[in-house]
Chain A
Amino acid sequence: MQPTLVANHLTKVIGDRTIVDSVSFQLYPGEVFGFLGPNGAGKTTTIRMLVGLIKPTAGSATVCGFDIRRDFEKAMRHVGCIVETPDLYRFMTGRENLEHFARMLGAPAEEIERVAELVQLSHRLDQRVGTYSLGMRQRLGIAQALLGSPRLLILDEPANGLDPAGIREIRELLRKLATERQMSVFVSSHLLGEIEMMCDRVAIIHHGRILRDGPVKELISSRQEMEFRVGDVERAAQIVREKGFEFRADTDRLWISIDENDAPSLVAALTAGGIAVFHAHPGGDVLAGDGRRDRGLVFLAYPEARSAEGSPVAQREPCDGRRAWRADRCATGDPSLRSG
């Protein structure tokens, strides 16, 4: 099967800073590919190189076999994208925006109705984009990207500004596009949970380099991590260790890799050991064993509820499993990240 997108050692150096360092990956039809990394990891710069906004210092990118620099027009005909923010012409209506981009593609007028229908924006299409909410602009951006039936969709942080229901809609839409139309979807995000729910395969980028690239299931285990707030963390840790569970500890909390069904017996053991258990609840997924030992990936496992960067949406919906990145903690050796 011919890959839809090939990034071949893409590198961008500005001054003496290497922003993206020899990034390579491939996307195949029908696949949703996640590009995961903290802010400033080089995600957006990589995307800008993929869509021809930035000239790579070295390396190349091809879309459906066409080099993005040499065959720009042929390559971009197969690409729909949103880079960073879904900035459209605010002084024009949604329809005028779609007409504008359809004209650039030579796409027929019926397609505007079709893509608007797809992102459920038909009812607001004749209002000015300036009056849209961020979520609606995000959807209009996706509609715009779908014009011309591209084979590759590149979306930079598509969940930004969407409420949980909106995120779910987008997720379902992207899945549908991948399975029904065999599109390749490239999604970047700094939220682990989002990538996990949306993608088949994920590449993790940090400091401009790809640390890991593989199926989501291999990188992120589906085993639940539960948060326990206990009276005496040190003694509790001892008991948990004896029971054979992996965990991380904070001053008054433990995050334990444990199946919900095993929780009652652990709570019983803790109580029997004279340790007060104030609460215990699911705290999301953890990285698979191999990933956790990888120093670069440690920050992935940090629960978003404790992060100042975590979006309010994520905090209100912990079962969504969204966590913000805390690469900085990783670097300073935050005690809460120490593995059990």
Chain B
Amino acid sequence: MLPLIQNETLKIIRRRRFAVVIGILFAILAVVTYSQYRQLRDRANRNWRADIQQRIAGYQNTVRRGRINETWSRSLRAEINRLQFYLDHDIEPDRPTAPLFVRNFANVAGFLLLPLLIAILGSDIVSAENAEGTDKLLLTRPVRRWKILTSKLATLWIFATLTLLCGALLSYSVSAPVLPRAGWTAPTFTGFQVTRGAFSFDAVRQLPLWKDTLIAYGLEWFALLCVASISLMLSVLFKSSAASIGTMLASLIGGTILLASLIGGTILTRMSPDWTAGKYLFVSALPLADYYTGVPPPYEAMSMWFCIGLLGAWAAGAMIVSYVIFTRRDVFG
């Protein structure tokens, strides 16, 4: 199996896919770091308590006016409570530091950017062989088809892991020169919960930032492995690389827009509260790191374990479909 994985790794590197992914990550991180740096400069002579109070007041007004949907107002109330919590404990939230930048990368990038990059890496891992005609050679060597597919899946998982690690390393190395480098031990608060419309502090835990970061990355890692597995399925189903990448990107972006509308209540406002099937979409469960931090999921019933289970089920389903089709189908020209 190891030689097969070595082969697949070589192909991804020679196709320059991974270089593109790292390039995109670097460019985006550089821009965001610059904006953080500007923010840090602006903050220097401001009173953060007044800022937070102002934000809370703004949110409260929005909620009181009541012209927003239930999901949106629920998430605003959660945010108000979260900010209040920091205020009560005299901790400045969201002050830009390099460690916090790394931590937030898991949330921000985990929502759309990293899944997109994994889709770029993974969606043509089988279909490109088909399109370029190399599958005829690959599948006529004395290696069973399931082994070949397993090597491809393992390689995708390796590269999903590498992408996340590179993202973390890059976000630190890009931000460290301009943002404060200390802060790994700063306290963070996670586990804000909304149960039956009321905000609950019961589950709030105080963690040092590094521990919190590890948990967030762990969740994000799991989510990315699931995205990789789904990419593999599309790559098996479609014969052309463009079709498989396109479908994966469309479902990620489409799903994210849908999700944003469920949470933000901007586009499909009337649809959101009643349309419960949305919680079974894999994109709904994708921002695991966000949900962990305390962003309420679009549906109340979506607990962390529900999300993890849902993603796992999607990945398992995708793998079953991939294996069944790949090992049985006739390979024509």
Contact = CB atoms under 8 A, between A and B. Distances in A.
Asked if chains A and B come from one complex, the reply is: yes
A144 to B, nearest CB: 7
A104 B7 contact: yes
A245 interface: no
B137 A144 contact: yes
B133 A52 contact: no
A72 B333 CA distance: 21
Nearest to B6: A103
Interface stretch (A86-94, A164-172, A271-279): A86-94
Contacts of A85: 133
Nearest to A144: B137
Interface stretch (A73-81, A215-223, A304-312): A73-81
Contact of B140 (A55, A83, A106): A83
B331 A54 contact: yes
Contact of A53 (B10, B11, B330): B330
Interface string B135-164: 011111111100000000000000000000
Interface in B90-144: 132-134, 136-144
B14 interface: yes
Nearest to B143: A104
Contacts of A91: 14-15
A48 B331 CA distance: 8
Contacts of B136: 53, 83-84, 87
A48 B332 CA distance: 8
A73 B330 contact: no
Nearest to A102: B3
A53 B139 contact: yes
Interface string A31-66: 000000000000010001001111100000000000
A84 B132 CA distance: 13
Nearest to A156: B136
B4 interface: yes
A72 B15 contact: no
Contact of B137 (A54, A73, A90, A101): A101
Contacts of A268: none
Contacts of A96: 10, 14
A73 B3 contact: no
B133 A84 contact: yes
A81 B138 CA distance: 11
B10 to A, nearest CB: 7
Contact of A77 (B6, B14, B139, B142): B142
Contacts of B331: 48, 53-54
B133 to A, nearest CB: 3
Interface string B1-28: 0011011001100110000000000000
Contacts of B3: 103-104, 106
Given A55-B330, A100-B10, A72 B4 contact: no
Interface size class of B (residues with CB under 8 A): 20 to 34
A105 interface: yes
Given A48-B331, A73-B144, A87 B6 contact: no
Interface string B208-241: 0000000000000000000000000000000000
A83 B140 CA distance: 9
A199 to B, nearest CB: 22
B100 to A, nearest CB: 40
Contacts of A84: 133, 136, 333
A253 to B, nearest CB: 38
A188 B198 CA distance: 75
A135 B38 CA distance: 59
Interface in A284-338: none
B142 A74 contact: yes
Contact of A92 (B11, B133, B144, B332): B11
B142 A54 contact: no
Contact of A89 (B14, B143, B332, B333): B14
Interface in A91-143: 91-92, 96, 100-101, 103-106
B140 to A, nearest CB: 4
Contacts of B133: 84-85, 87
A75 B141 CA distance: 10
Q: Which 8 A-B pairs have the closest CB atoms?
A: A87-B133, A103-B3, A76-B142, A53-B331, A77-B142, A104-B141, A54-B330, A51-B140
21 contacts: A44-B333, A48-B330, A54-B331, A54-B332, A55-B330, A72-B142, A73-B142, A75-B142, A83-B136, A83-B137, A85-B133, A87-B133, A87-B136, A87-B137, A89-B132, A96-B10, A100-B7, A100-B10, A103-B3, A104-B142, A105-B142
Given A53-B331, A91-B15, A104-B7, 18 more contacts: A48-B330, A48-B331, A51-B140, A52-B139, A52-B140, A53-B330, A54-B330, A72-B144, A73-B143, A76-B140, A83-B140, A87-B133, A89-B11, A101-B137, A104-B4, A104-B141, A104-B142, A144-B137
